[in-house]
């Protein structure tokens, strides 16, 4: 019985000894590992416009996951410097039903129901426009992809709790980039058709653009197109890429636990803040969209990290 009493009394002392206070002298070391970031964004840029295209932005992954890598090293005393880089992607899609519509009632727009209009002398009813459902199999399909990339530096101050446990407060700051891709297709994709020119036939670096001269003379039809916008003549697919680059800032609090001599676990929680200024969006990485609105990429963020190091 006395032996059991001795074990029970000495057990708390042994446990406390295993969690000895962090040494007061400067600590030098570092680590590197896989660090996914889970971000709950307040909103997706251009969400209302995506609804107009025909997809629901609420179906994007939430939390949004960024797969990345992180590293850190002690620089002086309790100050720690590190870096983070990652990329995340989420896709949504939709297949639209099609309704053929012909304006037959003389009112602007398509009315799919009986409409009551005010003619000044009283309310009159007008018949709806002619609409017929499409029964074919080549319905338009839509896919939207949201991509978030980040490359940043981390700077933090470490507060040791025990030898293997510490808390850090810091910030991540660097460059962020987001891309919204909208893919519209109809029919079955074919390899050769994927390399066709939407404006016509290319011969010896010259585009042969076919002109419709119905109801006029050929020369008059060509003169009408001179200096005007040339619209695509045949296309079963279309891809639009909208991208924006911004300064990203993320303050956070982290907990680090050294599991073994060379392996540890690190958890952090913070708030991400990034803003793409108005007029800074680009179309297909080439053309700046001057009337694009300001877009914020803000939200609560979590990071987990299994690292190898000290």
Give the separation between CA 180 and CA 122, rounded to whole angstroms.
Answer: 49
pTM of the model: 0.76
- Give the pLDDT of residue 115: 57
Tokens of 213: 């001269």
- Give the pLDDT of residue 14: 44
Is residue 105 exposed (0-12), middle (13-18) or buried (19+ Cβ within 10 Å)?
middle
Give which of 152, 197, 154, 192 is closest to 174, Cα–Cα: 152
Residues 93 and 143 sit within 8 Å (Cβ to Cβ):
yes
Q: In sequence order, what DSSP letters do the residues of the chain get, joined into one string?
A: -HHHHHHHHHHHHHHHHHTPPPPSS----EEEEE--EEEEES--TTHHHHHHHT--GGGS-SSEEEEEEEEEEEEETTEEEEEEEEEEEEEEEEE---EEEE--SSSSS--SS-EEEE-SSSEEEEPPPEEEE--SS--EEEEEEEEEEEEEEEEEEEEEEETTEEEEEEEEEEEEEEEEEEEEEES---TTGGG--TT-EEETTEEE-----TTS-HHHHHHHHTTS----S--SEEEEEEEEEEEEEEEEEEEEEE-SSSEEEEEEEEEEEEEEPTT--EETTTEE-TTPPPEE--EEEEEEEEEEE-
Task: Read off the pLDDT of residues 70-104 as tens digits, 9 standing for 90 and up.
Answer: 999 988 888 999 999 999 999 999 888 888 888 77
12: pLDDT strictly greater than 60: no
How many CB atoms within 10 Å of residue 253? 13
- Give the pLDDT of residue 117: 56
Which domains does the chain show, CATH number per domain? 25-95+145-184+241-309 (2.40.160.20)
11: pLDDT strictly greater than 50: no
Residues 199 and 255 sit within 8 Å (Cβ to Cβ):
no
Give which of 240, 239, 234, 238 is closest to 209, Cα–Cα: 234
Give the separation between CA 68 and CA 199, rounded to whole angstroms.
Answer: 41
Give the separation between CA 181 and CA 63, rounded to whole angstroms.
Answer: 20
- Give the pLDDT of residue 153: 97
Is residue 301 exposed (0-12), middle (13-18) or buried (19+ Cβ within 10 Å)?
buried
Give the separation between CA 307 and CA 302, rounded to whole angstroms.
Answer: 16
Sign of CA dihedral 273, 279, 284, 287: negative
Give the separation between CA 19 and CA 165, rounded to whole angstroms.
Answer: 8
Average model confidence (pLDDT) across the chain:
83
Higher-confidence residue: 243 or 97?
243
- Give the pLDDT of residue 198: 77
Out of 41-50, 67-76, 203-212, 280-289, pick the least confident.
203-212
């Amino acid at each position: 019985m006395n032996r059991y009493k001795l074990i029970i009394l000495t057990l708390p002392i042994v446990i406390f000894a295993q969690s000895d206070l962090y040494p007061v002298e400067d600590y030098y070391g570092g680590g590197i590992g896989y660090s996914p970031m889970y971000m709950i964004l307040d909103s997706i840029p251009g969400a209302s416009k995506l609804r107009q295209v025909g997809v629901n932005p609420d179906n994007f992954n939430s939390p949004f996951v960024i797969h990345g890598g992180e590293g850190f090293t002690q620089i002086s005393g309790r100050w720690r410097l590190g870096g983070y880089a990652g990329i995340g992607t989420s896709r949504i899609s939709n297949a639209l039903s099609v309704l053929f519509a012909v304006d037959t009632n003389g009112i602007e727009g398509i009315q799919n129901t009986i409409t009551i209009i005010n003619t000044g002398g009283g309310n009159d009813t007008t018949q709806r426009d002619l609409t017929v459902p499409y029964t074919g199999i080549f319905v338009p399909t839509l896919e939207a992809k949201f991509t978030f990339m980040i490359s940043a530096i981390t700077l933090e101050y470490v507060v040791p709790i025990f030898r293997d446990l510490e808390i850090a407060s810091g910030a991540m700051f660097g460059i962020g980039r987001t891309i919204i891709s909208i893919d519209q297709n109809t029919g079955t994709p074919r390899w050769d058709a994927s390399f066709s020119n939407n404006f016509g036939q290319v011969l010896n670096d010259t585009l042969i653009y076919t002109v419709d001269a119905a109801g006029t003379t050929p020369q008059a039809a060509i003169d009408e197109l001179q200096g005007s916008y040339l619209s695509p003549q045949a296309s079963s697919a279309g891809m639009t890429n909208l991208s924006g680059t911004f300064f990203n800032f993320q303050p956070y609090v982290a907990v680090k636990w050294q599991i073994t001599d060379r392996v540890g676990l690190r958890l952090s929680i913070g708030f991400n803040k990034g803003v793409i200024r108005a007029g800074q969006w680009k179309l297909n990485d080439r053309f700046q969209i001057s009337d694009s609105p300001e877009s914020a990429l803000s939200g609560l963020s979590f990071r987990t990290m299994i690292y190898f190091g000290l």
